[in-house]
Amino acid sequence: MGNKTPDIFPILPLASCLLPLASCLLPLASCLLPLASCLFKQFVCLQPRYKGYS
């Protein structure tokens, strides 16, 4: 169990490095999310039609 505690520390610099990257990607994600949800809705709307044919 003593070996597991030092493994947490290398994650901290990595997290501090990834946080600015995440904050940079967030506006991009907020732009892509409506587009993805729109495509997902179209896909879901098309599904029953395919089921009707089969």
pLDDT above 80 (res 10): no
Sign of CA dihedral 11, 13, 14, 16: positive
Confidence of residue 6 (pLDDT cuts 50, 70, 90): low
pLDDT at position 5 is: 58
Confidence of residue 53 (pLDDT cuts 50, 70, 90): low
Amino acid in position 35: L
The DSSP call for residue 1 is -
pLDDT at position 46 is: 75
CA distance 46 to 23: 35
Average pLDDT over residues 6-20: 77
CA distance 51 to 53: 5
Tell me the domain boundaries of the chain: 4-53
Which residue, chain included where needed, has tokens 């395919």?
50
Please give the model's pTM, rounded to 2 decimal places. Answer: 0.39
